[in-house]
């Protein structure tokens, strides 16, 4: 079983209580993803693990990748942003999925009140329209379901790597800067 299959199994076997106000909160997080794309020129992907849907928001980084959808929004019936994945170097994509699995377990073991303090950053090589790899920064955040321990949403941000990071990937605590 490969890493993406393990991730899918872990995501989709979580207990999503149906009485929670998902649709109301989803609109809030879609606005956040849209604003990240707009303000940081990123490609933002908000994946809903309860419904197996992703919402993609294209900032101007999409022009560098020659996806050329700046300002557009998309919706796909999967939590996996395959359109973006095909641009990531195969070695980096395999590493990205393994990092996400480790990060998922790390976040699940944090107190619910502290989970949003953490995010994952990693360096990726992404293909531009000329088939050249450029350096990109990937950041990932998890959002817990409103009333239980389930991790409901994943927000992935792809943007140009403007500075070097000291490792292939890091888990950052934004509350303590460690």
**What average pLDDT score do residues 153-174 get?**
91
Token pair 């979580």 in the structure block, residue? 14
**pLDDT grade, residue 20 (50/70/90)?**
low
Token pair 């928001």 in the structure block, residue? 57
**pLDDT grade, residue 19 (50/70/90)?**
low
pLDDT for the residue numbered 75: 95
Q: Of 140, 85, 76, 77, whose CA–CA distance to 107 is shortest? A: 140
**What average pLDDT score do residues 35-47 get?**
96
| Options 3.30.450.20, 3.40.50.300, 3.60.150.10, 3.60.60.10; CATH of 3-173 | 3.30.450.20
pLDDT for the residue numbered 148: 78
Q: Is residue 165 scored above 80 in pLDDT?
A: yes
CA separation for the pair 71, 169 (Å, rounded): 28
pLDDT for the residue numbered 168: 85
- The residue extents of the domains of the chain are 3-173
pLDDT for the residue numbered 12: 87
Q: Is residue 178 scored above 80 in pLDDT?
A: no
**DSSP of 71-95, one letter per residue?**
T-EEEESSSS-HHHHTTB-HHHHHH
**pLDDT grade, residue 46 (50/70/90)?**
very high
**What average pLDDT score do residues 114-123 get?**
94
């Amino acid at each position: 079983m490969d890493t993406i299959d393990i991730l899918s199994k872990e995501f989709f076997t979580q207990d999503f209580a149906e009485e929670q106000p998902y649709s109301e909160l989803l609109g809030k997080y879609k606005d956040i993803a849209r604003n990240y794309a707009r303000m940081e020129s990123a490609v933002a992907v908000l994946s809903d693990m309860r419904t197996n849907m992703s919402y993609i928001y294209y900032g101007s980084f999409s022009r560098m990748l020659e996806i050329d959808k700046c300002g557009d929004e998309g919706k796909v019936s999967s939590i996996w942003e395959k359109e973006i994945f095909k641009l990531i170097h195969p070695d980096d994509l395999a590493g990205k999925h393994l990092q996400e699995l480790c990060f998922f377990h790390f976040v699940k073991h944090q107190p619910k009140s502290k989970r949003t303090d953490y995010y994952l950053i990693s360096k990726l090589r992404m293909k531009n329209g000329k088939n050249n790899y450029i350096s990109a920064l990937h950041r990932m955040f998890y959002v817990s379901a409103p009333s239980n321990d389930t991790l409901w949403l994943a927000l992935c941000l792809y943007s140009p790597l403007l500075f070097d990071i000291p490792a292939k990937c890091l888990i950052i605590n934004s509350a303590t800067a460690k």
